Structure 1
């Protein structure tokens, strides 16, 4: 009997804990998901709610429950059809839900496109901070960029403008933030050099400019005093 009571107490504690997590999660105002015309929006939605769940210390099944609660419209109907094909008593894991969701709304063809964009990415006309943001956005689809630190560093350097890249070739970087910081410093040095050259080039022209003409007085002239 004591064992049954103990189990019952644990069960009730879990129910209370689950209700607290649910209320806390809703206070974060998580976005719902119905349908996304752009597959990237679907992938971003899943990443966003997963981030929201992180501090809540959810169990695997609670994560699935919270995510399913946010589905609406077409997405809700899709998940209901998925569940109808699941054997009785089978509980979907978070990894299983994530895999099925991405298979439906972010298929492999989209991931392949993002990987191709990452492999071709170059700084071009972007500033280093903008290039870094784009690099981070696309590197999420390239597992090697996370697993191999040296590959990530070399790939980022290869995409930089030639002038910046040449200044960094003799440096050894311990991590990615250090590389980005140095690239930004080099870019600022180039900008200061260009501004200095422009000022030096325009200085003789400014010296040759005639002095400004004094303004013409406006109004009626004063009468001369006899």
Structure 2
């Protein structure tokens, strides 16, 4: 990530997409690009503050890649420029690593660096196979247990990115999400028509909230109960 990102949309080149190159960018699009670029930078910056070793969490790196890809169509970045656009946002450790990695490439690869090649090298460095397998196992072992539904959903979605083969469809995702909920929440949802993952989360969150309120009410009623006389 770069320490400063220009406020204007990056120049794009290449003659394979002339319509994209000449497409004007509105002021609103520039503002959105700036906002998304800020989000991309903040993602890694916040992780740096929380990680004493300065290493990058593979979940954070994957999130960074996904956020970066969202900027491309808005800022009209063509395929030939995607790797360069992304690499200018590196700072510190990531910047040093990328400079060394780029210098080690042969001239042809330097001049024809694709987004896919860039992602492969980035994931190879910060999200290697052993880490991906560990996160995959963590996803398969994940259960709500003592977490709130919100925290469980966050953990589920983050780690699901590394176990895509187990959730080929939204129905599979819904099923796995519900199976790992606490019994009193899962049992509540069994006979409901859950048509989307968002709806599954909504039902689970509502049940979690109702149980919390019921628990508080029960505790209060016990506290206010008259003391028995013997």
Structure 1 and Structure 2 fold alike (TM over 0.5): yes
Matched, 1:37 2:47: no
| 1:195 paired residue among 202, 216, 227 | 216
Q: Is the 8 A contact 1:39 1:110 kept in 2?
A: no
- Tell me which of the two structures has the higher relative contact order, counting C-alpha pairs closer than 8 angstroms and 6 or more residues apart: 2
Q: Distance in 2 between matches of 1:88 and 1:104?
A: 18
Point out the structure with max Rg over C-alpha. 1
SS in 2 for 1:160: coil
Show the counterpart of 1:112: 133
Matched, 1:53 2:76: no
**Superposition deviation, residue 46 in structure 1:** 2.9
Q: Provide the alpha-carbon RMSD of the alignment.
A: 3.6
SS in 2 for 1:31: helix
Matched, 1:124 2:134: no
Show the counterpart of 1:137: 158
Deviation track 1:121-159 (CA, whole Å, cap 9, x = no partner) reads: 111111111111111111111214653112101110111
State how many pairs are aligned: 195
Q: Is the 8 A contact 2:33 2:74 kept in 1?
A: no
Q: Is the 8 A contact 1:124 1:161 kept in 2?
A: yes
Show the counterpart of 1:172: 193
| 2:100 paired residue among 61, 70, 77 | 77
Q: Distance in 2 between matches of 1:121 and 1:192?
A: 26
Change in Cα spacing, 1:70 to 1:151, as seen in structure 2 (3 Å) is: same
Question: Unpaired segments of 5 or more residues in structure 2?
Answer: 1-14, 49-53
Show the counterpart of 1:62: 81
Q: Distance in 2 between matches of 1:56 and 1:146?
A: 32
